[in-house]
Amino acid sequence: MTIGWDLGGVHVKVALVEDGRVVAAAQVPCPLWQGLPALDRALEAAPDWARGAALHAVTMTGELTDCFADRRDGVAALSGWAESHLAGTVRIYAGRSGFVAPEAAASLSADVASANWHATAALAGRVVPDALLIDIGSTTADLIPVVGGRPAATGYSDAERLETGELVYTGAVRTPVIALSGHAPFAGHRTRLMTETFAHMADVYRILGLLPEGADQQPSGDRKGKTVAESETRLARIVGRDRAEAPASAWTALAAHFAEAQLRLLHDAAAELLSRPDLGVDAPLVLCGAGAFVGARLAERLGRPATPLVALLADRIAGARDGISTCGPAVAVGLIAAEEAVA
């Protein structure tokens, strides 16, 4: 039995692999900025099988969280936590350096830090030799070229991938809407926005009826409920209004403006990557993440064929597909580790 882990700064994702096939996957909230005890609570909230003895393959993005002094400190802390809390053998995914022992992770922190994208791209490349992986999560989007069956990103670190457009810091849930536009059309005018984190993209996609069930696991901007009406209330504040000042159609139109702004941001990044000479005009998009539905809209905009990651992995999935797309990196390290253990 192999269990794949993706230790993030907002969520922990975990996937169970048995006999080379994914049996289950789950995501639980983990406000890691509050400190390492958040991981303890996430482990308690995870399914029972996550606490069982197994080969545990761990990737991470939580090393960036501001409770750590720097990435090396974060890699050391997360690797140490995994070794002391997970039952069985623990291996840390170091991307281009493969799997390493927890005690070696800090010395390879440049390879370990935020390498979860590398695992997903490596797995996708085993099925589709040439493609553009689009993993849109709750907070960020990874756009990773896959060429010749291998990850072919120009950048590796977060800083490098931000420069190349392979990391776009926007997601389908946690991104504040003011990060996407400084103004918006409303009531016949183009109005400036209040630069407050009143509303997030979860509110936008909830209003538009696109937000998947269970995708929004963190508190809302005002720590209140998550109905459409409450999302409209939060969105109204961005334009200095109360929800009662306009009909529902006005809030839907405003939400659509922010969804379009996010799509344009992703389109520009993807178009640049798809212009690479080593990615053919027929290279498909491989979609995963909590925001895979945004990826589907992006593929339509680009005029490219798109395939969900779960469809590519159909013969490696033994249980329900629920959660597998959202937990792509955890699924990837679990499957890769299982295959290497057999080999």
CA distance 104 to 92: 9
Nearest to 336 by CA among 6, 111, 104, 86: 6
Mean pLDDT (the chain, rounded): 96
The predicted model scores a pTM of 0.95
Written in H, E and C, the secondary structure of 17-47 is EECCEEEEEEEEECCHHHCCHHHHHHHHHCC
Cβ contacts of residue 98 below 8 Å, gap of 6+? none
CA distance 192 to 90: 51
Superfamily of domain covering 2-130+312-341 = ATPase, nucleotide binding domain (3.30.420.40)
Residues of CATH 3.30.420.40 domain(s) within the chain?
2-130+312-341
- pLDDT, tens digit, for every residue of 129-138? 999 999 999 9
- pLDDT, tens digit, for every residue of 210-238? 999 889 999 999 999 999 999 999 999 99
Residue 322, pLDDT score: 80
> Could you report how far apart the first and last alpha carbons of the chain are, in Å?
15
CA distance 33 to 9: 7
Residue 287, pLDDT score: 98
Residues of CATH 3.30.420.190 domain(s) within the chain?
177-265
CATH number (3.30.420.40, 3.30.750.200, 3.30.420.190, 3.30.565.10) of 177-265 reads 3.30.420.190
Nearest to 85 by CA among 56, 48, 109, 106: 56
